[in-house]
Amino acid sequence: MRKSAYQAYSQNQTGVYSPEKLIEMLYEGLLKYTSLAKRAIEKNDVQAKAKWINRSNDIFIELINSLSNDGSEMTAYLSGLYMHQIKALNHANIKNSTSELDTIIHVVKVLLQTWKEETHVEYEMA
């Protein structure tokens, strides 16, 4: 009962945001969870590391699922980029590599900044 109530609440909360805002929130979640995974590696906390890396993986999968199936070069590029980040997360998990996580954080920061700039320009033009 409690879990289904939480799921309904979560769905209602995300329903009030635009698709553009949801993508932004996913990128922000990636930054948060990947940073937490990095801290967990530094503290030798295997359980926390797995938790945060799994959450980051889930977000990348959600981003892949959110891509349109239009066959465009951009869709193919982003799909490949997200898949590469998933592989890097798995490598970081196996090797306890904070440098892999630093690279992912950098990539996501660039994606987030670009996304914000692009959606801002679209709103100005509308």
Burial, 67: exposed, middle or buried (Cβ in 10 Å; 0-12, 13-18, 19+)? Answer: middle
CATH assignment of the domain containing 54: 1.20.120.340
Within-domain flag for 12: no
Assess if residue 97 is contained within a domain.
yes
The CA distances from residue 19 to 14, 45, 48, in Å, are 9, 35, 30
What range defines the domain where residue 75 resides?
A: 18-125
Indicate the DSSP class of residue 19. H
Q: How far apart are CA 16 and CA 72, in angstroms?
A: 29
Compare 98 and 3 and report the one with higher pLDDT.
98
For residue 9, being part of any structural domain is answered with: no
The secondary structure of residue 44, as a DSSP letter, is T
**How many structural domains are present in the chain?**
1
Q: What is the pLDDT of residues 11-23, one digit of tens each?
A: 555 567 888 999 9
- Residues in the chain, overall count: 126
> What does the pLDDT look like over 55-97, one tens digit per residue?
999 999 999 999 988 889 999 999 999 999 999 999 999 999 9
